[in-house]
């Protein structure tokens, strides 16, 4: 599933093309892509046609494009799911192989183009949703100055690269959780944007075993973990995200290159870049965890007197 770096790469690619663009036409090819828009395809098409897009914003793994000049603040919300893609194509371009929805738009500078939502596995979705104020009064996410998020995104926590992310809030949340630290990192209501790949990479970099109870982490370990999360996400962003197949691409259909820089994820049996011991893979929440058994040891449990 695309994580923060991949979704941010898509957002940044969309932003100059959609900001100020007017939607000329909407074509819903497959209504399964509207599972979050309960009013259906006809409502989606009519409500969006003729509207002007005001930008491209992101919180965690969610994207949204606010609609300009609305009495009730509304946005086009996108979640890429497992294999969703938002692609920019020339006007009149041939349909994509897994095309679900197409927006024909006209930009005042770039002219006409198509914004295509393609999704092989059909777990992603588009929807129109109203905006609601952020509880902390800060901007909703990356790419917007408005202190609001779509209602469907309101439960999603801020991510560690968000200027409004508060380390103290994160630390406090960890102190109340007996769950494994990796499970906490994947909980988008605690911290957003981190999935399986970057959780494994950050925990490896911070030398923390993925099954360590969150509340057992020492303050220094939490500080180190936050620093490594940010470092991993920033490096992945610089390399365009992580692509293992053709399912994740940017808006121009190009793959990311961070897969070549992974230290733990997907490297089962290969030597740890730090100590040389083989990377271990274990089952975790219907997925897998990858870690170094020497560098990432479980803390010892004090003996009961």
- CATH number of the domain that residue 183 is part of: 1.10.8.50
pLDDT at residue 260, rounded to an integer: 77
pLDDT at residue 229, rounded to an integer: 97
Hey, what are 143's tokens? 């790419």
CATH number for position 76: 3.20.190.10
pLDDT at residue 304, rounded to an integer: 45
Say whether 182 is catalytic: no
Average pLDDT, consecutive stretches of 10 residues, N- to C-terminus, the chain (305 residues): 88 96 98 96 97 97 93 92 93 96 96 96 96 97 97 97 97 96 96 95 97 96 98 90 62 73 93 97 89 92 49
Mark which of 104, 123, 153 sits at the end of a domain: 153
Instruction: Answer whether residue 126 is part of any domain.
Output: yes
Binding positions are 98, 121, 177
- Note whether 104 and 224 are same-domain residues: no
- Note whether 136 and 178 are same-domain residues: no
Binding positions for DNA are 98, 121, 177
- Note whether 201 and 145 are same-domain residues: no
- Note whether 76 and 24 are same-domain residues: yes
Q: Cα(204)–Cα(24) distance, rounded to whole angstroms? A: 48
Out of 2, 66, 150, 160, the active site residue is: 2
Count of structural domains, the chain: 2
pLDDT at residue 248, rounded to an integer: 61
Instruction: Give the model confidence (pLDDT) of 37-77 as tens digits.
Output: 999 999 999 999 999 999 999 999 999 999 998 767 999 99
Give me the long-range contacts of 231-240 (CB less than 8 A, separation at least 24).
231/205, 232/198, 232/201, 232/202, 232/205, 233/4, 233/5, 233/159, 233/160, 233/161, 233/193, 233/194, 233/198, 234/161, 235/261, 236/5, 236/198, 236/261, 237/5, 237/8, 237/9, 240/5, 240/9
Among the listed residues 231, 229, 223, the one whose alpha carbon sits nearest the alpha carbon of residue 167: 223
Residue 103, judged by CB atoms within 10 A of its CB (0-12, 13-18, 19+), counts as buried
- Note whether 254 and 197 are same-domain residues: yes
Mark which of 153, 183, 217 sits at the end of a domain: 153
Q: Cα(60)–Cα(108) distance, rounded to whole angstroms? A: 30
Strands 125-133 and 74-79: antiparallel
Q: Cα(215)–Cα(174) distance, rounded to whole angstroms? A: 5
Say whether 3 is catalytic: yes
The order of strands in the sheet holding 74-79 is 57-59, 62-66, 74-79, 125-133, 148-150
Instruction: Answer whether residue 183 is part of any domain.
Output: yes
Instruction: Answer whether residue 104 is part of any domain.
Output: yes
Instruction: Answer whether residue 201 is part of any domain.
Output: yes
Measured in whole angstroms, how far is the alpha carbon of residue 2 from the centre of its chain?
A: 6
- Note whether 92 and 35 are same-domain residues: yes
- Note whether 131 and 207 are same-domain residues: no
Out of 11, 52, 61, 142, the active site residue is: 61
- Note whether 184 and 108 are same-domain residues: no
Q: Cα(165)–Cα(256) distance, rounded to whole angstroms? A: 26
Residue 45's CB: how many other CB atoms inside 10 A? Answer: 17
Out of 151, 166, 287, 297, the active site residue is: 287
- Note whether 127 and 14 are same-domain residues: yes
Instruction: Answer whether residue 296 is part of any domain.
Output: no
- Note whether 197 and 263 are same-domain residues: yes
What is the Cα gyration radius of the chain? Answer: 21
Q: Give the domain extent around 199.
A: 167-291
- Note whether 179 and 231 are same-domain residues: yes
Mark which of 126, 153, 180 sits at the end of a domain: 153
Say whether 2 is catalytic: yes
- Note whether 182 and 269 are same-domain residues: yes
pLDDT at residue 247, rounded to an integer: 57
Length of the chain: 305
């Amino acid at each position: 599933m695309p994580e923060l770096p991949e979704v941010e790469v898509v957002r940044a690619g969309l932003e100059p093309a959609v900001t100020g663009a007017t939607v000329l036409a909407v074509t819903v090819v497959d209504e399964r892509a509207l599972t979050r828009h309960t009013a259906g395809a006809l409502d989606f098409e009519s409500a969006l046609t003729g509207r002007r897009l005001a930008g491209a914003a992101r919180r965690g793994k969610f994207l949204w494009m606010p609609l300009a000049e609305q009495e009730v603040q509304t946005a086009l919300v996108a979640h890429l799911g497992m294999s969703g893609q938002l692609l920019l194509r020339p006007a009149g371009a041939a349909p994509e192989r897994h095309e679900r929805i197409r927006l024909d738009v006209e930009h005042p500078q770039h002219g006409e183009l198509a914004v295509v939502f393609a999704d092989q596995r059909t777990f992603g979705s588009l929807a129109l949703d109203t905006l609601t104020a952020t509880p902390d009064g800060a901007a909703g996410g990356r790419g917007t100055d408005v202190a609001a998020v779509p209602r469907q995104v309101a439960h999603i926590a801020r991510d560690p690269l968000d200027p409004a992310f508060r380390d103290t809030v994160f630390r406090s949340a960890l102190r109340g959780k007996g769950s494994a630290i990796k499970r906490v990192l994947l909980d988008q209501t605690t911290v957003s944007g981190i999935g399986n790949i970057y959780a494994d990479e950050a925990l490896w970099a911070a030398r923390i075993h993925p099954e360590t109870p969150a509340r057992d982490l020492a303050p220094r370990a939490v500080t180190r973990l936050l620093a490594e999360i940010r470092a991993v996400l920033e490096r992945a962003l610089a390399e365009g995200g992580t692509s293992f197949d053709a399912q994740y691409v940017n808006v121009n259909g190009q793959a990311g290159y961070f897969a070549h820089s992974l230290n733990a994820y997907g490297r089962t049996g290969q030597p740890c870049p730090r100590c040389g011991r083989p990377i271990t893979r274990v089952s975790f929440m219907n997925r897998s965890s990858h870690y170094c058994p020497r560098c990432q040891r479980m803390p010892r449990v004090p003996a009961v007197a």
